[in-house]
Amino acid sequence: MVATLPVAPQVGASPGSSVISAAAAAVAERVSASVTLVGQRGGNGAGVVWRANGLIVTNRHVVRGDSADVVLADGRRLLGRIIARHPDRDLALLKVEADDLPAVEVGDSSTVRPGQLVLAVGHPLGFRGAVTAGVIVAAGQAATPDGPRTGDWLQADATLLPGNSGGPLVDAWGRVIGISTMVNGALSLAIPSQAVENFVARDQPSQARGYLGVNGILVPLRRADQALGFLLTEVVEGTPADRAGLIVGDVVIALGAATVTDQESLPAALLRLVPGEAIPVRVLRGGEPRAFTVVPTERA
């Protein structure tokens, strides 16, 4: 059974609120088809079908052994093999022997802003497919009794309980922008989708991805229009970045449509590069904005 948000209008409710409620219920129903139950002895959590070929993302603390029982939304029970764990974040990747699964649409967490409506789907206290709603409170940090906790979190006021761990946090369009991981007081924390996508992509068989030939570090910028940038500490000679005119000391602020907003922004954008497809790069050079066009190649 899938629990969704109530759609029946309240007495005196405006037509607009009824439309929002119905849309939220439709989003919840669609996303729930991609949410699995992940179980091991001692408890259950949630998982998200990240790839149609059987790759499922969950929290590392949900799966402590080498395998876990996975129950799909359609009721099928499968064995999930843990094929990767993130060394720092609370993430684990499972593989089940099934194809054509209903994978989620992955959103761009770098564009998330406080005030956005979000839905969290999971199995709190064993109740399958429960949905709670809230808004984004902070993106990029979490407020705690001990002060701000940084680390590229999404913080929302959607209610989470045991069993929600590993479930998706989605935006109003049903795109996954985070994976629920823990409760922080009355608020919840989610791992941004860009970090999750980066983790999943690293553990897949090699495929043709665009290569620029740069290395660098995330640095703060004292600018009202741009808080962070990616300082190039190396531009490999003869690579696409070098041929395009990028140099050490340039600060990348955007790659294509992806603006550098946190430590995952640029790595996630790099994973989406396609060899041979030109992409605009915006940088600061000596504090002045410059624009370049780079044509990625396939890394040898």
Task: Considering the candidates 18, 61, 69, 242, report the single residue annotated as catalytic.
Answer: 61
- Asked if CATH classification 2.40.10.10 holds for the domain at 105-201, the reply, yes or no, is yes
Residue, of 139 and 175, whose pLDDT is higher: 175
Instruction: Centre a 10 Å sphere on the Cβ of residue 121 and count the other Cβ atoms it contains.
Output: 27
Instruction: Write down the residue that tokens 């799966």 correspond to.
Output: 63
Question: Tokens standing for 186?
Answer: 């009355």
DSSP bridge pairs for 183: 188
pLDDT value at residue 194: 84
Task: Considering the candidates 165, 180, 193, 265, report the single residue annotated as catalytic.
Answer: 165
pLDDT value at residue 245: 96
176 has pLDDT over 90: yes
Judged by DSSP in three states, 242 sits in helix
Task: Considering the candidates 21, 32, 34, 90, report the single residue annotated as catalytic.
Answer: 90
- 240-299 pLDDT, tens digit per residue, is 999 999 999 999 999 988 888 877 777 777 877 888 889 999 999 999 999 999 999 876
- Range 159-184 burial, b when 16+ CB lie within 10 A, else e: bbbebbbbbbbbbeebbbbbbbbbeb
* Location of each CATH 2.30.42.10 domain in the chain: 210-298
* Location of each CATH 2.40.10.10 domain in the chain: 105-201
pLDDT value at residue 11: 47
pLDDT value at residue 34: 95
Task: Compute φ and ψ for 28, nearest 5 degrees.
Answer: -60, -40
CA 92 → CA 4, 42, 48, 181, 218, distances in Å? Answer: 27, 18, 11, 11, 25
- Say which CATH topology domain 210-298 has: Pdz3 Domain (2.30.42)
pLDDT band with cut points at 50, 70 and 90 for residue 4? very low
- CA 32 centroid distance within chain: 17
Residue, of 64 and 72, whose pLDDT is higher: 72
Residue, of 223 and 141, whose pLDDT is higher: 223
Catalytic residue flag (residue 165):
yes
Percent of the chain's residues with pLDDT above 70: 87
